[in-house]
Amino acid sequence: MRKIALLAPALFTACAANPPPEPIPVHGATPGHKCDAAGTERFIGQPGTSETGAAIMRATHSSILRWAPPGAMLTMDYSESRVTVYLGADRRVTEIKCG
């Protein structure tokens, strides 16, 4: 019993010397990118091309682009750094939303 009493302070000191853990990154969030769809009306009616997608990403400050063609099933998870571009049957942009 005496040996345990003498060893206990050394064990507590070893635990106290460890630095705190790094913050856990949030899945789906890209630091420095937060989607803002204000002012994206100018893209409505444009063709759903990679050039249009790149311009929408720059305009919304997003790091992730998600295309949503008609009838597509989308996940319900929310990502503040993602922009979703909805397309009509003619493959033209009909709506732009963040998340």
Tokens of 27: 């899945």
- Asked if residue 81 lies in contact with residue 30, where contact means CB atoms within 8 angstroms, the answer is yes
- The pTM assigned to this predicted structure is 0.69
- Residue 9 is predicted with a pLDDT of 63
Euclidean distance between CA atoms 55 and 59, whole angstroms: 6
Predicted confidence (pLDDT) at residue 1 exceeds the cutoff of 60: no
For residue 94, which of 78, 65, 58, 70 has the smallest C-alpha distance?
Answer: 70
- Asked if residue 68 lies in contact with residue 87, where contact means CB atoms within 8 angstroms, the answer is yes
* Fold that domain 26-98 belongs to in CATH: Trypsin Inhibitor V; Chain A (3.30.10)
Say which residue the tokens 């503040």 belong to. Answer: 80
DSSP character for 45? T
Residue range 21-59, pLDDT digits in tens: 665 555 656 677 789 999 999 999 999 999 999 999 999
Residue range 53-98, pLDDT digits in tens: 999 999 999 999 999 999 999 988 888 999 999 999 999 999 999 9
